[in-house]
Chains A and B, each alone.
Chain A
């Protein structure tokens, strides 16, 4: 009955409207639909230029000038500019996903600025080490400035947790390559803070009409809470996100091992005074090997066993990855929808979701959806196997590295772990002597 009445209402209204529409008065000026423009693309290129300039400056400050104070100033600038002014988005960490999706999905076009954001820090790392981490990354910067009392993480724990970034990287690549989700962006712990104090928005509003738009409490609560926890931890365990979570850091660690130049603790030579031993809050200083003239043949058996075990473990990892692939694949919207429709049709679950209703109204054949979903499942199976194999490879290579005995005579910054923050410089007496010479020459 109600429906009939509604139908009649609609009929009469549309009929009367059709008559009325023709008679809109001549003096009436029909308004246009407004379309406020997005922020100009120029800002994207300014960001790329600032990124390159900041990394060049960081490289100069860390490698040539050896100035911790300069690096700290640059850290604060980066935090303000990339973090609070530009809102922390897009960042090189997240750009991994754009690049991955661009490589796997030819329909997705990556903007040039995002490609630059992805590639520039990698190239800089190949030449100067992790200068991007040192003072340019806003995520690193926000942790760096809250570090009050660094506690030492035991080496075994640090090495074990050091696997996590590779796992995260692999998962993020899998999710982006299958077009499922950008998990790095969803789990970014700091972007909520950057949006809390949107300097850019405030700046624009103040320049435009002198008003202050107020605080933006829009950041989702769970992300802010996660960020607060990470920040609290990083007050005591320096840069906990960078060291044990950051997937871009995992890439930079690999590249940093092959860098052309790198940060050194001492400006000239190490005198093994041990003063820098505890200087690094991130545990990135390697001590000299305890015994001189360690023979390389020691532990040869273990090394051989590990190398023989490597292909076996990689195969096991791949198999395990295949086993967890159904769980992972549920993150994909197509697969989720297909499972939902299947369960609804089988009567396993009552009711519908918005997505399943849309699908049913579209009158698309169910078989077509199932086919698409099974194609995606295939992608996930392959991807999860590769992911499992990759994680196993990372773990095994780490163990192999422990078994290779290298002689080290001096205190050195670890090539992969060193974030080039420059905190160790002041601990070195040779550095103090160098600074004294500079002062006297003036």
Chain B
């Protein structure tokens, strides 16, 4: 800073700087304000639209968590409590009983128990479920489609860009408001 500038107090450069600063502040404010005007107060979270999901298996492999934050869930009011559940039994299963060789689930995460007569209840053990969707595909193809995949929000860390969403072939992932974080199947 030259002597002359020091004396005059406000230099030309400072003046320009101040002007640009004001303009930039206004710009940042306008952009933020414009977005805030139509923003939502709460956060958004990722969820799978079960109507679009094709149970391709990407959810098991693309999630940054291992095991995946996507799990199979069961809409019990749709379920028909089949004795031979196509979500539970492999199509080529040698027998209709709970032996591992009969099961479709690679981790044995579905618990089968008799309710009454030929009716069986199927429950997902989420500790074991890896979200591969094999049972979802089975139930969807031959059954009622009571099994479907959902992002479990006690596990999901809500990445800014969900790695599974980026890999989803059927565009089934979308951001939903955090106060309605599930897209559940219900009885029609």
A and B part of one assembly? yes
Which residues of A approach B to under 8 Å, CB–CB? 6, 9-10, 13-14, 16-18, 20-21, 23-25, 28, 30-39, 41, 44, 87, 89-90, 94-95, 97-99, 102-103, 106, 108-113, 115-116, 118-119, 122-123, 126, 181-182, 185-186, 195, 198, 216-220, 255, 257-260, 333, 353-355, 357-358, 409
3 nearest A-B pairs in the assembled complex, by CB-CB distance: A354-B169, A36-B154, A182-B161
Within 131-181 of B, Cβ neighbours of A (below 8 Å) are at: 142, 152-154, 156-161, 163, 166, 169-171, 175, 178-179, 181
Q: Are A41 and B178 interface neighbours, CB within 8 A? A: yes
Would you give the shortest CB distance from A385 to chain B, in whole angstroms? 23
CB within 8 Å for A97 and B84 given contacts A260-B21, A354-B170: no
Q: Are A30 and B31 interface neighbours, CB within 8 A? A: no
Q: Are A89 and B41 interface neighbours, CB within 8 A? A: no
Among A90, A122, A181, A258, max chain B CB count under 10 A is at A258
Chain A residues with CB under 8 Å of B25's CB are 123, 126
Q: Measured between alpha carbons, how far is A30 from B123 in the docked complex, in Å?
A: 11
Q: Measured between alpha carbons, how far is A30 from B119 in the docked complex, in Å?
A: 13
Q: Are A195 and B64 interface neighbours, CB within 8 A? A: yes
Closest chain B residue, CB of each to CB of A108: B175
Interface Cβ pair total, 8 Å cutoff? 176
Q: Are A216 and B65 interface neighbours, CB within 8 A? A: yes
Q: Are B35 and A103 interface neighbours, CB within 8 A? A: yes
Q: Is B117 positioned at the interface, with any CB of A under 8 Å from its CB?
A: yes
Chain B residues with CB under 8 Å of A355's CB are 169-170
Q: Are B160 and A41 interface neighbours, CB within 8 A? A: no
Chain B residues with CB under 8 Å of A195's CB are 64-65, 157
Chain A residues with CB under 8 Å of B74's CB are 31, 33
Q: Are A33 and B169 interface neighbours, CB within 8 A? A: no
Q: Are B39 and A110 interface neighbours, CB within 8 A? A: yes
Can you give 26 A-B contacts (C-beta < 8 A)? A9-B142, A14-B80, A20-B117, A20-B118, A35-B153, A35-B181, A36-B153, A41-B43, A89-B157, A94-B161, A97-B160, A102-B39, A110-B35, A111-B44, A113-B43, A115-B35, A115-B39, A119-B29, A119-B32, A181-B166, A182-B161, A186-B166, A218-B66, A255-B24, A258-B17, A354-B170
Q: Measured between alpha carbons, how far is A28 from B113 in the docked complex, in Å?
A: 12
CB within 8 Å for A17 and B82 given contacts A33-B75, A36-B152, A354-B56: yes
Chain B residues with CB under 8 Å of A122's CB are 28
CB within 8 Å for A99 and B115 given contacts A122-B28, A258-B20: no
Q: Are A10 and B35 interface neighbours, CB within 8 A? A: no
Would you give the shortest CB distance from A178 to chain B, in whole angstroms? 14
Closest chain B residue, CB of each to CB of A354: B169
Q: Are A18 and B35 interface neighbours, CB within 8 A? A: no
CB within 8 Å for A99 and B35 given contacts A94-B160, A182-B160: yes
Q: Is B116 positioned at the interface, with any CB of A under 8 Å from its CB?
A: yes
Which residues of B approach A to under 8 Å, CB–CB? 1, 17-18, 20-21, 24-25, 28-29, 31-32, 34-36, 38-45, 54, 56, 58, 63-66, 73-77, 80-84, 91, 115-119, 121, 123, 142, 152-154, 156-161, 163, 166, 169-171, 175, 178-179, 181-182, 184
Chain A residues with CB under 8 Å of B117's CB are 20, 23
Chain B residues with CB under 8 Å of A115's CB are 32, 35-36, 39
Chain B residues with CB under 8 Å of A119's CB are 28-29, 31-32
Chain B residues with CB under 8 Å of A218's CB are 63-66
Q: Measured between alpha carbons, how far is A90 from B157 in the docked complex, in Å?
A: 10
Q: Are A20 and B156 interface neighbours, CB within 8 A? A: no
Q: Are B24 and A258 interface neighbours, CB within 8 A? A: yes
Q: Are B161 and A354 interface neighbours, CB within 8 A? A: no
Q: Are B21 and A258 interface neighbours, CB within 8 A? A: yes
From A34, A87, A217, A255, B73 is in contact (CB under 8 Å) with A34
From B24, B76, B121, B159, A33 is in contact (CB under 8 Å) with B76
Chain B residues with CB under 8 Å of A409's CB are 1
Closest chain A residue, CB of each to CB of B63: A218
Chain A residues with CB under 8 Å of B35's CB are 99, 102-103, 110, 115
**Additional A-B contact list (4), CB under 8 Å, known A33-B74, A37-B154, A185-B159:** A18-B80, A38-B153, A94-B161, A109-B38
Q: Are B43 and A20 interface neighbours, CB within 8 A? A: no
CB within 8 Å for A109 and B81 given contacts A20-B119, A33-B184, A126-B25: no
Q: Measured between alpha carbons, how far is A113 from B17 in the docked complex, in Å?
A: 30
Closest chain A residue, CB of each to CB of B57: A354
Q: Are A111 and B76 interface neighbours, CB within 8 A? A: no
Chain A residues with CB under 8 Å of B64's CB are 195, 218-220
